[in-house]
A and B are shown apart, each in its own frame.
Chain A
């Protein structure tokens, strides 16, 4: 393992699901570096929210952006230097709320980057409001009587938008998370990993997820229809088994390939 720690003091709550993502990402990067990935080529782009502190906690290049604005700078970075390995960390409020149009366009363009969505289905840093993936009836501080809107299924939306790698993990499943992160980073094209990350303070779903998750087996990620079926098995709202692993994978030309570059 290479040392990827910084001097920043970690301020996540004890038990926060973000620790699993941080550990898995450091392990994935360390392992890739050992396999030959130049670590100085890695850039983490983050939004604003609890998840985004990861930019301070990993000793690689980072671009600590604005709320909702992970994908435009990530695209700009790939445009300028396509050889860089760009990993965008975004929250569910970031990626699926404030910055949804950017997410759709990044997938549509098939920007060669990785998107890790810290999907805790609640706003943590602003102290407990609903997000685009909170279930119908979610009682948050801005919706005390419960939301009147059903959540979006982000993987379904991403499949329709043109993403070429779609996966899901949880913050209770470090090994799988590490494996998925590595595969997502190595994928050529827009790879999105929706991580069911648990917020222990505002929406503790550990038990709920533990009872329902299962790992995809005998699944062909090259089969669009099979991927769609598995993605739609759980709609982030009603009770259903929750599949983990890589749902979909496809080869397609990337956005940045099409540009002529001067010296």
Chain B
């Protein structure tokens, strides 16, 4: 078997997340490409939580509903996910707390008395995970030494006891099918949030400021953990209002700075966003989408903030909005966002979501092309300095405090070239033209970047239009159904011409989006483009591969 899906479930607090990663790492060590979908409620203890680990010979970035192995730490897991079992599935469960009755006939069930084993070993309940992971390895004929090595690398303490319990699970289970090691490079696993963080650091980030909010809190945690190593300043202030204003203060001093939040926090940041545009103080905002309105579903996913990102903030101004679809794109686009925000002195938004941010991917950093560095328009040092000097491109020469003999004045009011407040009609128009002109040059620069990606059968007359984290599932579905996929990576300035070229010759264009109002479709409508069908999902859960295939067939594919 060179492609399989494993679901592990239990209550929040059972250690499901950790075990999912452990299983993924074991398969990753065997050369498999991994994707993990994490599903958990907004609860610290209790409630049902599960992870789906997908392992494949090829790169994957979505989950399937059909599962080859189901690991149940409680009854609820088995009851809720029974419908995902197929003919050759194996169910591994804690026979001390789970009854595996009425399973489909061909399903193999392996009951392990995990509760009894941990009691006998005098171990805490959380170690039932190790017991079931051991049993899974046996069922899949994964060599014991791979598990042994993974446990030794992964656990910082209690290695021996975890291994002992895993061995008892391993010895109690029966072999079921073979998951053979693959002869290909082993790739590390990262989450989308980690990839974004690493991209920002690679892009020269000096300061990261954020108020905790799902799904971008892991960026804050990651940055704080590596702060000393990269000489980063990481701050968690009193509110998102403070977050963005503090970031603008650091930006004023020349620090490359980013902030992270979700829709609710972004609401509070909008005055700062508009200020960033007026004052021409660059900042990067990682906006991780989750279902709203309002508090909505904190730990689930969606694509509902496209127009919010495009239109937030009073006044008319230029902004860069990028929408990565997986860890690699998150890593690359984070660097580009930081770079272009500083080159054009505009706010930039990295639009992610919970599934991208908290999803886990095999990450081949070495295969990624170097992001070329955009040149910053630096001040030549000739006095007197004017922070808002009007230029052909609208981009003023950049200098940071302190500059002996010169002052650097930034202003939220309309201002003249030197940064002093003005209400003059002539200056008002001149400075607004200056700021808006930057968008034209930014758009021209983007024309030299890959702004719209194409996958699948490039000659197909039926194509899927998708963006963000739906990329993975759309690409895989398209390969199965022999379709073309078109994915814009930039939302502002919008690459309308490149999109038009990408869909040329397509007779049927189907938009796949995780929202109720087809937000990308509304955006392309502004440029005179449209789609023939929409496949929308807005229950907070991502499309599973089999589910999307069915929905596309319903849409006439």
- The residue in chain B whose Cβ has the minimal distance to the Cβ of A6 is B420
Tell me if B255 and A64 are in contact (CB < 8 A).
no
Question: In the complex, which residues of chain A have a beta carbon less than 8 angstroms from the beta carbon of B238?
Answer: 101-102, 104-105
- The count of residues in chain A whose C-beta lies closer than 8 Å to any C-beta of chain B is 42
Report if A38 contacts B (CB, 8 A). yes
For B231, give the chain A residue with the smallest CB separation: A262
Residues of B within 8 A of A74 (CB): 249
- B254 near A80 with CB under 8 A, answer yes
- Among A12-20, A48-56, A181-189, the stretch in contact with B: A48-56
Bound state CA distance, A259 and B275, in angstroms? 26
Chain A contacts of B410 at CB under 8 A? 62-64
Q: Is the CB of A105 within 8 A of B245?
A: no
Set A61, A66, A79, A260: member contacting B231, Cβ < 8 A: A260
When the two chains form their complex, are residues B249 and A260 in contact, meaning their CB atoms are under 8 A apart?
no
Tell me which of A64, A79, A262 contacts B412 (CB under 8 A).
Answer: A64
| B101-109, B294-302, B401-409, B510-518 - interface stretch | B401-409
Cross-chain contact A80 with B255 (CB below 8 angstroms) = yes
CB < 8 Å: which of A48, A53, A73, A78 contacts B245?
Answer: A73
**In whole angstroms, how far apart are the Cα atoms of A77 and B410 in the complex?**
13
Task: Write the nearest CB–CB distance from A105 to chain B, whole angstroms.
Answer: 5
> Are B411 and A55 within 8 A (Cβ)?
yes
Interface residue? B475 (CB, 8 A): no
Please determine whether B419 and A76 come into contact, CB atoms closer than 8 angstroms. no
**Complexed CA–CA distance, A247 and B249 (Å):** 30
> Which residues of A have CB within 8 Å of B275?
65-66
B interface bracket (residues with beta carbon within 8 Å of A):
35 or more
A:38-93 near B, CB below 8 Å: 38, 40-41, 43, 45, 48, 53, 55-56, 59-66, 69, 71-81, 84
State the Cβ distance, B260 to closest chain A Cβ, in Å.
Answer: 16
Asked if B253 is at the interface (CB within 8 A of a chain A CB), the reply is yes
Interface pair B412/A66, CB less than 8 Å apart: yes
Partner of A76, one of B230, B250, B402, B407: B250
Q: Is the CB of B249 within 8 A of A84?
A: no
Say whether chain B's binding surface is mostly helix, strand, loop, or mixed: mixed
In the complex, which of the residues A59, A74, A102 has the most CB atoms of chain B within 10 Å of its own CB atom? Answer: A102
B413 contacts A by Cβ under 8 Å: yes
Give min CB distance, A22 to chain B, whole Å: 15
Residues of A within 8 A of B227 (CB): 260
The reply to whether B406 and A79 contact each other, CB–CB distance below 8 Å, is no
Question: What is the CA–CA distance of A78 and B401 in the complex, to the nearest angstrom?
Answer: 12
- B244 (CB) vs chain A CBs: closest residue: A72
- CB of B420, distance to nearest CB on chain A (Å): 5
Give, as a whole number of angstroms, the nearest-CB distance from A252 to chain B. Answer: 19
* CB-contact partner of B233 in A72, A101, A102, A259, under 8 A: A259
Chain B residues near A263 (CB, 8 Å)?
Answer: 231
B319 CB, nearest partner CB in chain A, Å: 18
- Which among B230, B243, B272, B420 has the highest number of chain A CB atoms within 10 Å? B420
| B553 CB to nearest chain A CB (Å) | 52
A8 at the interface (CB under 8 A from B): yes
A110, chain B: closest CB distance, angstroms? 14
Is B207 part of the contact surface with A, judged by Cβ < 8 Å?
A: yes
Would B420 and A40 count as touching, CB distance under 8 A? no
| Complex contact A38–B404 (CB within 8 A) | yes
A75 near B409 with CB under 8 A, answer no
Q: Pick from B228, B241, B245, B419: contact of A260, CB below 8 A.
A: B228
Instruction: Give the residues in chain B near A43, CB-CB below 8 Å.
Output: 401
Name the contact of A69 in the complex, choosing from B206, B245, B409 (C-beta under 8 A).
B245
B46 within 8 A of A: no
> Closest CB of chain A to B202's CB: distance in Å?
14
Chosen A-B contacts, 9 in total, with CB atoms closer than 8 Å, are A55-B409, A63-B410, A66-B272, A69-B245, A76-B247, A76-B250, A77-B253, A77-B401, A262-B231
Q: Give chain B's interface residues, CB within 8 Å of chain A.
A: 206-207, 209, 227-228, 230-233, 235, 237-239, 241-255, 257, 271-272, 275, 401-413, 415, 419-421
Closest 3 A/B residue pairs (Cβ) = A76-B249, A262-B231, A73-B249
New A-B pairs, 8, CB < 8 Å, besides A60-B407, A79-B249 = A40-B401, A41-B401, A64-B410, A65-B245, A72-B245, A73-B249, A260-B227, A260-B228
